[in-house]
Chain A
Amino acid sequence: MKRSESTKRYWRSIHDLEQTPEFAAAQNNEFAGQIDQEWTTTSRRRFIQLMGASVALATATSCRWQEEKLLPLNDRNPGLTPGSPKNFSSILDSDGFAIGVKVTSFDGRPTKIEGNPLHPESLGATSTYAQAATLGLYDPDRSRTVIHHDGSNAVDKTAEDLAALTAGIAAKKGAGSGAVAVLAEPSASPSMLRLKESFMKAFPRATWVDYSPIARDNEVAGCKMAFALNARPYYRMSDAKIIVALDDDFLYEGPSALRLMREVTARRKPEAGWMNRIYSVEANYSLTGGFADHRLPLRSSEIGAFVTALRAKISGGTAPTLSAKGADDFLTAMASDLKAHKGECIITCGPGQPAAVHAHVHALNMELGASGKTVDYYEATANGSGLDAVKDLVGKMNAGTVTDLVILGGNPVYDMPADLAFGDALDKVANSVRLGQYLDETSVKCTWHVPQAHELELWTDGAAPEGTVSIGQPLINPLWDGLGTTEVLSQLLGESKNSMEIVKQTSGLGSTAWRKALHDGIVAGTGAKPYRVKLRELPKLATPMEGLELRFIPHFALRDGRYANLGWLQELPDPMTKLTWDNAALISFATAERLGVQHESMVELTVGGRKLEVAAYLMPGHADDSITLALGFGRTDGGHVAGLSDDDVEAVGFDSYKLRGSDAMDVAAVSLATTNKTYLLATTQDHFAMDDIGTKGSQSRLPNLVKENTLDGYEHDKTFAKHAADFWGDEKTLWQELDSQKDTNHKWGMAIDLSSCTGCGSCTVACQSENNISVVGKEQVLRGREMAWIRLDRYFLGDAENPKAINQPINCAHCELAPCESVCPVAATTHSEEGLNDMVYNRCIGTRYCANNCPYKVRRFNYFNFNKDAAQPGNEVLKMAANPDVTVRDRGVMEKCTFCVQRIERVRIDSRNEDRDTFIEDGAIKVACEQACPADAIVFGDLLDDDSRVLKAQSQDRAYKLLVELNNKPRISFLARIRNPHPSLEAHEAAEEVVSHG
């Protein structure tokens, strides 16, 4: 390498010329600047890390390209085609349980989450928040370094400092009782359970508390009370003909929601044989309530009385009277249905109900023969330690007993019951270590913050509620050198294993089984056996609380607040309120009138002396004397989306935790005071209170837009949906249809079954993720500029006291005679040969004429550059979340649903490569909304294929086209919604009409 001086003519620097020793050394170092010091002085710890990483990389082609970035990829890895996406099975956490997912990865960059059809709780579907996991992964607000809070200074630290810290704690194995404490989140992960056990063995005097503000512990407590078992109910709704939900949004909440939605909706199609009948009794208008055939608004605290009354109706006894109007008829009908369908019915109870109510519901299910048939009981995992344990820990912290507190995930300073004042107690802990993804409310109060790796950056394992174990593969190396909870525990135990070693050790699988488990996303045969249960004597249920009640519910998208920094979820309209970027006190019309509360006025709620001002939202169908308030908002250190006080980013929504006390975590007695202040709530549909003209106008047209009928009505007139008010059959067009409108090889179309659609919004987020749809923010939503390509129109039907609800997903219908196409002056939206209404972004000049002329109003305009944030320094990582197959739209252009044209093209390319010419198998193309839909309500396919599911669906009696009278010939058919009401309750409702929409 070294050249002799005499030959030197050109030199690079003074050092070069002078041949200083530094230069000579640098010159000899082949990888100057690329390889840090650690390579040359490898510690044992580093060696193990590197070896672990090597093994991980060797096994998981899912990870990024090789770590050594300095070498070009001369030989392509087998099976890896740059630009061609790969799918890997992994898992995501849902209330401590695992949901199996398939993650799409482009060149080692995960971009899209889809459900894993093999996983028992996914069945191929995904929830809204699972869809948003990629956004969470690339959230630029995630913390990137270890931070030590020394007094008021925050100092960045290195991995070595962290190692020293954990070693310090590890050295306190024998410290006094409770000196070392761990606060973790409930988890069913086998590795977490194993490490927790090891930890408690190694630190016999330590305290370990599992806490989640939305843990479903009442379920477990109810089973303990009823059966003396540590169990949770497990519903099987495929065979349930009568389903009763008591304050339970089972279609959306809970680790089994996706499966339950699939099972329930499969039985909502009249063509498929018998239809189930769903009753819902609840305070708030939930997704399940909207989907139910009958719904009774009832205060949450009266559910116990309702259960007692139901038991009395079924097996005799005295029934308490209920406050809700029509409760008796409702009960009678329900009881007669249940008695007529013993063994084919199911009663579910919401996690917000006290244990005793759960126990009585279990007893009812036993009586009705549901146990063992539609309800099973499995060993409860992912349990919280209970509030007593939490209080005990806080007491010890306050007493100064706890010297070292390790907080693994969660966000206790933010989400602990307010009366415990966890933040103050934390100040008294000398050494508090927080593993968290964000430098959030908890981390800023701890002495140490450790960046936590995202679920997609780690090897994880988890279990479904019935025990099936899954292994979660990482899709990418930790972006910010974060650690997993298991890795931190491992460090505390002095093992310092990486997540893969930990998971592999727990699984105990051989290499073949391991590979199969990774491929399938589940470890076969790990499902548990249900318990055989025996009912114990149950105490009588307490009498309901008097006065105004306040219910705390997890927010449908942000959950307990953990997803608050994800714009997709903030902007996802609530299924029933259509509210974005806020939570609000949901209150019934009658109660609001009684208390003098106006819609969008600020009200002051007081619970146990704690006060909170929050905006009121008058919610149709809400139970009287009850207020519902979602958790998860009002973050002060959530991030630039959720709220960040350090950067003057105002918190989104209202922090309900400030009202939540440890004595009343689910339902609390509350008093309400009105204020003069008003507040703007950003809903994506106009509010219920509309002028008379608008109300009448929608009233008269809605029966033509969202078609529905009872099962009897449908049997009577199967083609009722095809009758259109202003339609006289196909009209002649004034101009000859263009050749491009005559389909060549394929004719893409879609069918959406309103009978199955529950309105959960998974399609909306899936579409957002797949198609790089921008988040616009509250101000823009208020201006009506939200960008969703597929939206859910929710209409109420009947009186405001207890209306029915219906959802209608609306996306571009790809009309054959598209009104948008003819009006564009520059031909930026045109028809493809296969009938797609294509949008050519770089031809669009943004006249917005197309949007005006679209009768479905599915076109979305980029009023600003909504992707500006990604260009900010430090935010570039956001760009990685984008789907590289889809253009990111600039400002000034129109956009709308493309029928996932990029997915069509991928399949077409594959098809051509495999010499199948133009043939595309039905179902080979799954558009993003269809793929995510837990209700299987959306079918996409080729209308020229005689055997396609979409053609079959479109040929059904129930199929109708929206606004058929305009002769646009939309390619989407809706299948009318069929309800299955109880005959005795139907009479009341026959006269009802659609009165309004919200």
Chain B
Amino acid sequence: MASTAIPASIDHEDLFPASLVQGENDLHSVTETVCGVLEASKPPKSWYLIFTVAVGLLGVLGAMIVYLVMTGVGVWGNNQPVAWGWPIVNFVFWVGIGHAGTLISAVLFLFRQDWRTGINRFSEAMTIFAVVCAGMFPAIHVGRIWVIWWVFPVPNQMDMWPNFRSPLLWDVFAVSTYFSVSLLFWYMGLVPDLATVRDRAKTKVRKFWYGLFALGWTGSNRHWHRYERAYLILAALATPLVLSVHSVVSFDFATSQLPGWHTTILPPYFVAGAIFSGFAMVLTLSIPARKMFGLEDLITLRHIDNMCKVIMATGMMVGYAYSMEFFMAWYSGNSYEGFAFVNRAFGPYWWGYWIMVSCNVLSPQIFWFKKARKNLILVFIISLFVNLGMWFERFVIVVTSLNRDFLPSSWHYFSPTWVDVLTLLGSFGLFFTLFMLFCRYLPQVAISEVKNVMPQAHPHLDDH
């Protein structure tokens, strides 16, 4: 637990009621804390443990993909009428998780929410890894992966463009744009910190690699000036993506004519849900990580408190969406639509629906209490619930809508196979492998940005 005592070195506590950086930290100690993680000769034991498990699961994922490609997508539980099963559920799940990163780094940056600095690097990394996981699923999900490149608008001998009317194609653009902008944004933010690590490096290897990626950063005024301009522009560019990516993902469903999918509420509902799940994942990752790498002073209780509030707010938004879907299904008078929702809540997959509601709508309500927001174990558990609930939300949308559509003759129950389960677990392996590597080799906290929000960075308070 971080100390909540106000350090003596800060003189202006009345102007900074809850300091963003706690403990007896000055500019140097922040650098020391963050760089210490990657400069330590050995990572903590728990890192080895998690990394081993993650790499193991990554191996499982590899095996599953090989099996899948060799055999056919029939190794999953997908059937007729549930032509999209777990892979698409997982895709939407991971894309959703990948949402918080951009929100935190771009939107909160534009809104001058300084508290974001402690967690933005972290959540941007999470975003990129989550989008990697997400992007994998639609690719392996197609029947003939060896011709997947046909979805890209590449000039080819067939003289064929992709079908620009298809929401799946929009997905291709939306997700790849999001991925590239997020990666760029993340990398740009990393450059000054990489230079710091380079400058502190003691081995040639480290010097070379960190130096290579630091792009010759010297910390000159000109560098800083351009850096901040570019950062602002990228933040402005990335902000619409926060809304667009998951809106476009939701178009896969909203523009189809399947009862339960064909609703206009889906884009905002998906965006809210994505932010919701993204913040939950940031919590899930940061609570153990700050402990593991001793970052309690930089990722403080205030960050966690804020994130809990965001989760509560977005949780209520998705709750609103759930109830509004029901209302519209009834109000529209469309019997198929009405049935789709009653079937969701009380049909064969009722349990999925109620897991979703209890995890996403009910469990975050506990964050009304400050005590709950300060109880890290409780916060961690609720964040897991939200992750689970958000996975189930996508399961409910995809599977329960498909399994009973228009003609009752086609109705068929969907059940996953072991390959479905192991592939999902494997995707966590991929995610955590990347994440653990990030924790070990890159600065987890944006050093330069954190320093910016420290009181030491503002010695002339009168100027404000």
Contact = CB atoms under 8 A, between A and B. Distances in A.
A793 B79 contact: no
Given A705-B406, A845-B148, A891-B74, 18 more contacts: A693-B339, A701-B335, A701-B336, A823-B166, A824-B163, A846-B143, A847-B138, A848-B84, A848-B143, A849-B166, A851-B83, A852-B402, A855-B405, A855-B406, A861-B83, A863-B78, A864-B72, A892-B143
13 contacts: A686-B411, A693-B347, A726-B336, A784-B79, A791-B409, A823-B167, A824-B166, A824-B168, A826-B160, A852-B84, A852-B258, A863-B74, A865-B72
A299 B71 CA distance: 49
A701 B258 contact: no
Contact of A701 (B339, B346, B410, B413): B339
B306 interface: no
Interface string B50-82: 000000000000000000000111100111111
B80 A693 contact: no
A168 interface: no
Contacts of B405: 855, 857
A863 B339 CA distance: 29
B257 A856 contact: no
B251 to A, nearest CB: 10
Interface string A780-796: 10011110000101110
Q: Identify the interface centre among B71, B74, B79, B336: most chain A CB within 10 Å of its CB.
A: B74
Contact of B169 (A786, A793, A825, A893): A825
Given A697-B339, A810-B409, A825-B162, A851 B80 contact: yes
Binding site secondary structure of chain B: loop
Interface in A821-855: 822-827, 843-849, 851-853, 855
B440 interface: no
A763 to B, nearest CB: 15
B136 interface: no
A593 B151 CA distance: 55
Interface residues of A, number: 59
B165 A822 contact: yes
B218 to A, nearest CB: 46
Interface of A: 685-686, 691, 693-694, 697-698, 700-702, 705, 725-726, 780, 783-786, 791, 793-795, 808, 810, 819, 822-827, 843-849, 851-853, 855-857, 859-865, 890-894, 963, 966, 997
B44 interface: no
A826 B151 contact: yes
Given A784-B412, A825-B163, A827-B163, A725 B335 contact: yes
**10 shortest interchain CB distances as A-B pairs:** A846-B143, A892-B143, A863-B74, A793-B409, A848-B83, A784-B79, A857-B410, A698-B408, A827-B163, A892-B144
Nearest to A700: B335
Nearest to A792: B409
- Residue picked from A784, A791, A825, A853, most chain B C-beta under 10 Å: A825
A108 B381 CA distance: 72
Interface of B: 71-74, 77-84, 138, 141-144, 147-148, 150-151, 160-163, 165-169, 172, 252, 255-258, 333-336, 339, 342-343, 346-348, 402, 404-413
Given A701-B336, A819-B256, A825-B162, A843 B150 contact: yes
B256 A825 contact: no
B162 A863 contact: no
Contacts of A783: 74, 77, 79
Nearest to A860: B80
Contact of B80 (A700, A784, A847, A864): A784
Nearest to B252: A849
Given A861-B80, A966-B257, A892 B73 contact: yes
A693 B147 CA distance: 42
Contact of A852 (B83, B141, B147, B412): B83
Contact of B411 (A694, A795, A862, A890): A694
Given A783-B79, A865-B72, A691 B256 contact: no
Contacts of B79: 783-785
Most chain A Cβ neighbours within 10 Å, of B82, B142, B346, B404: B142
A853 B343 contact: no
A826 B150 contact: yes
Contacts of B84: 848-849, 852
B143 A893 contact: yes
Contacts of B144: 844-846, 890-893
B162 A701 contact: no
A825 B175 CA distance: 15
B406 A863 contact: no
Contacts of A701: 335-336, 339, 406, 408
Nearest to B149: A845
A845 B72 contact: no
B347 A845 contact: no
A436 to B, nearest CB: 36
B150 A845 contact: yes
B175 to A, nearest CB: 13
Contacts of A963: 406
Given A819-B257, A823-B166, A853-B257, A845 B409 contact: no
Contacts of B138: 847
Contacts of A694: 343, 347-348, 404, 408, 411
Contacts of A865: 72
A855 B162 contact: no
Interface hub of B71, B73, B138, B348 (most chain A Cβ within 10 A): B73
B5 to A, nearest CB: 58
Nearest to B342: A693
Contacts of B172: 825
Most A C-beta atoms less than 10 A away, residue of B83, B144, B406: B83
B334 A863 contact: no
B416 to A, nearest CB: 11
A184 B74 CA distance: 45
B407 A810 contact: yes
A632 B144 CA distance: 39
A864 B407 contact: no
Contacts of A686: 408, 411-413
A847 B407 contact: no
Nearest to B144: A892
Contacts of A859: 80, 83
Contacts of B80: 784-786, 851, 857, 859-861
A691 B348 CA distance: 7
A828 to B, nearest CB: 8
Contacts of A794: 409
B166 A825 contact: yes
A784 B81 contact: yes
Nearest to A808: B409
Contacts of A894: 143
B168 A849 contact: yes
Contacts of B404: 694, 697
B256 A853 contact: yes
A825 B151 contact: yes
B407 A705 contact: yes
Nearest to B166: A825
Contacts of B347: 691, 693-694
Contacts of B81: 784, 851-852, 857
Nearest to B69: A892
Contacts of A856: 406-407, 410
Given A686-B411, A822-B166, A863-B78, A855 B257 contact: yes
A890 B72 CA distance: 10
Question: Which residue, B71, B342, B346, B407, has most C-beta atoms of chain A within 10 A?
Answer: B407
Contacts of A780: 74
Given A810-B409, A825-B166, A827-B163, A845 B257 contact: no
Contact of A693 (B165, B255, B343): B343
A309 to B, nearest CB: 38
A294 B296 CA distance: 80
A910 B402 CA distance: 44
B346 A693 contact: yes
B73 A827 contact: no
